Amino acid sequence: MPLPLTSDLATIMNLDEFAVSATYQRKNAAGDTVINLIFDNETVPIDAGGFAQVHQEQPRATVRTSDVQGISEGDQMLIATDLYTIRAWIHDGTGVTEIRLEKE
């Protein structure tokens, strides 16, 4: 059973709180949509098969699932001045979707 997060999401996705505005560009639809999201660009270690540790940025967006209905790989998001391509996503069943991005 989904948690009642609707009012919490409205607060979290508020531009005066945690969110930023982004332009969601669907590859198979006309027109862009402006949505609010939480952007994170964590640096994570990756296994490069050697003795030196290598790190890589792992950009992701957390959005309301209702804002990305019909999401597909290859759609894009313009966040600030950076363009990202959507590579993967997970709908968590509570009305929140986490999207893995790749910077163009």
Domain 6-103, CATH among 3.30.1560, 1.10.3470, 2.115.10, 2.40.10: 2.40.10
Between 97 and 8, the higher pLDDT residue: 97
pLDDT in tens, 25-82: 999 888 899 999 999 998 888 887 877 788 888 999 999 999 999 999 999 999 999 9
Domain spans of the chain? 6-103
For the cut 80, the answer to whether the pLDDT of residue 5 exceeds it is: no
| Joined tokens for residue 80 | 């600030």
Which H/E stretch holds residue 10?
Answer: helix 6-12
Residue type, 11: T
User: Beta partners for 76?
Assistant: 25, 85
Phi, psi of 11 (to 5 degrees): -70, -50
Taking a C-beta distance cutoff of 8 angstroms, is the pair 71, 58 a contact? no
